[in-house]
Amino acid sequence: MASGTPQSGVGRVIADRYLLLNRLGSGGMGHVWLAYDQRLACEVALKEIVFRDPGEADHDRSARVARARAEARHAAGLRGHPHVVTVHDVLEHEGLPWIVMEYVAGALDLSALVAQRGAVAPAECARIGLAVLDALTAGHERGVMHRDVKPANILLAPDRTGSPYARVLLTDYGISVRPDGDETRYTLTSALVGTAGYLAPERAQGGPPTAAADLFSLGCTLYYAVEGYGPFDRESGLAALTAAVMEEPRPVLHAGALEPLLSALLTKDPVRRITAEGTEAALSLILTPQPHPRTRLDPASEPPWAGGITRTAAPRTPPAAVPPQSHGGAPQWYAPSGPPSGQAPGPWSGVRGFGPPPAAPGRRRRPRNRARTAVLATALGLALAVGGAWFAMANLPGDGDAKPYGDAVGLSRPLADGDCVATRWTGAPFVGDPELRVVKCLSEEPYGQVMAVFGTASAQDARSAGATRCERRTEETRKKLADVRSYAAVPTADGFERAGHRVACLLLDARGKPLFGPIGNRRPVGMRFSDTATMQKGDCLDRVNDNIAELVSCRGPHQEQVLDFHRMSPDTTLARARRQATTVCRQEVPPDDYGYDPNIYTGSSWVGDSAWASGTHFVVCTAIRRDGGTMERDEP
């Protein structure tokens, strides 16, 4: 976690009121800080404008300042909207503007959510899309176009009940504009306003900002959420812009019911693109699908199985004009029919069309041995009943060779809570399903682990809600680990019975690389870490040697405690990281930020091979005593 520059770092007071606590993130215009409002005694978010180029022309600097004021003005006009981050104030400090905004505790932007935990289920995508569309529509009604709708500008946060990601908020109106207003459009001369890969083709070609262009960006955003990558992702920004103008989006693989809407939103021609009203209707239908209308037969006609007489179709009668039915209101073709005129009732005369055939003219019917007929009929009925029962038992769903999670996953038995599972992805990690194999826990083989198992009402319920529920059930552990993602092993329709109606929630390495050792609370005290992949925040450790640490109870004496993780720059080699990690941890994750007395404690680090093999480049930062002694349970 970067602490910022000396001029704008932690502890600085802005406008004699806002104490900067830590940096939440950075964007195209500057940094966003968590700050403490000393006047109102509450936390707020402050957006700081940063000029990275000291030689930036004065008019460009003026444009940035003006855009910040415009952001505050436009967003403040949407104050109180449930899906827009509230802007409280805009102020100037040392000649630069700062925007005071609502602090959304526990928020994660959609881009980070997908990067960390995988693509979002179509129904959840529809919920997010409806919220963002509501925010955009509110702005469009005021004549304000957002112009930068993208996953990074959509925040997902817990609601008052603590349900994660329940709140959906659109943020960053920094480049929004009223196309019909008289204000200056603050666009830098060397830059195209917007984000490559999410910019509508008409905007990429220099067209004006419109509501239709925002809808195209929304389509790109929903595509990213449900597929895990953008529809026009390319190796460079210019290539992405070109693709948005000239090429069709990549075919969807996991969009499901969202596919037709995504196609309509990503239509190149803005005139033919779906409207906000149509988008709202389509998203609402995905969230609350209408029941499939049942086929209603014409009461004036008979079903094809009602008799052997060929009939012409009767004209359909409007419902209001249908005459009242006799026979208790049942449709006519269910009504029992009497025997033909002059004929005694027979054993099959109760259902129309199944009466005995009329006798041939001029021939007498031969008498039958009714007793023999009854015996034969009884035997035939028993044979049919036994055969039907055998067929039903032989074809019970989920029995036999059906695999619980399908052929791709390959397991022949359902996963149980705590199972250790080795994975092999045939394509890109977390795109599709991996081949899974249960392995022995605490073995040397790399694996992930089942962290929870829960039941579902149906295979469809498992498919639609399994991934989201697994996210929630593994959230606490994921927050403590550096680089893991959840994966929901969802039973197929054929394997639903075999899986025991249950979904298994696994934690795996976020980039498809191996994890070594048990995860979370499944790690026994005394286990030794051969790698940093399963170390987690709050762990208490004893150092066995420079390459091995032992997990010990924090209630007793221990040599160090894990504080957090720090990602080294991508060009840092493993050897260089081993030399520099402790110095970097002391600077970026100082123990005094966690309540440790800097006169007694200092920082240390662990570096694992897997972090460089996976490309994550994270190091584990810990606190130790300066005198080399042990820490006790009553210490921070």
Interacting residues of 424 by C-beta distance below 8 A, sequence separation 6+? 434, 435, 437
The values of phi and psi at residue 508, to 5°, are: -130, 165
Point out the catalytic residue in the list 109, 148, 494, 539.
Answer: 148
Interacting residues of 15 by C-beta distance below 8 A, sequence separation 6+? 91, 93, 98
Residue that has been written with the tokens 């021939």 in this structure: 363
Distance CA 587, CA 581 (A): 10
Structural contact between residues 480 and 527, judged by C-beta atoms closer than 8 angstroms:
no
Q: 69-91: buried (b, 16+ CB within 10 Å) or exposed (e) per residue? A: ebbbbbbbbbeebebbbbbbebb
The values of phi and psi at residue 124, to 5°, are: -65, -35
Distances (CA, A) of 172 to 16, 146, 150, 267, 282: 25, 8, 10, 25, 26
Distance CA 515, CA 449 (A): 9
Distance CA 136, CA 43 (A): 27
Taking the alpha carbons at both ends of the chain, their separation in whole angstroms is: 20
Structural contact between residues 268 and 232, judged by C-beta atoms closer than 8 angstroms:
no
Range 20-25, long-range pairs (CB < 8 A, 24+ positions): 20/46
The distance from CA 94 to its chain's CA centroid, rounded to whole angstroms, is 42
* Catalytic residue status for 214: no
Distance CA 620, CA 483 (A): 12
Interacting residues of 390 by C-beta distance below 8 A, sequence separation 6+? none
For the CA atoms of the chain, what is the radius of gyration? 34
Question: Residue 615: what residue type?
Answer: G
Distance CA 94, CA 69 (A): 15
Query: Three-state SS for 61?
Result: helix
Residue that has been written with the tokens 């420079």 in this structure: 546
Q: 407-432: buried (b, 16+ CB within 10 Å) or exposed (e) per residue? A: eebebeebbeeebbbbbeeeeebbbe
537 labeled binding residue = no
Residue that has been written with the tokens 């025997």 in this structure: 339
Distance CA 67, CA 175 (A): 7
Cite the annotated binding site for ATP by residue number: 47
Active-site residue set: 148
| Annotation: binding site | 47
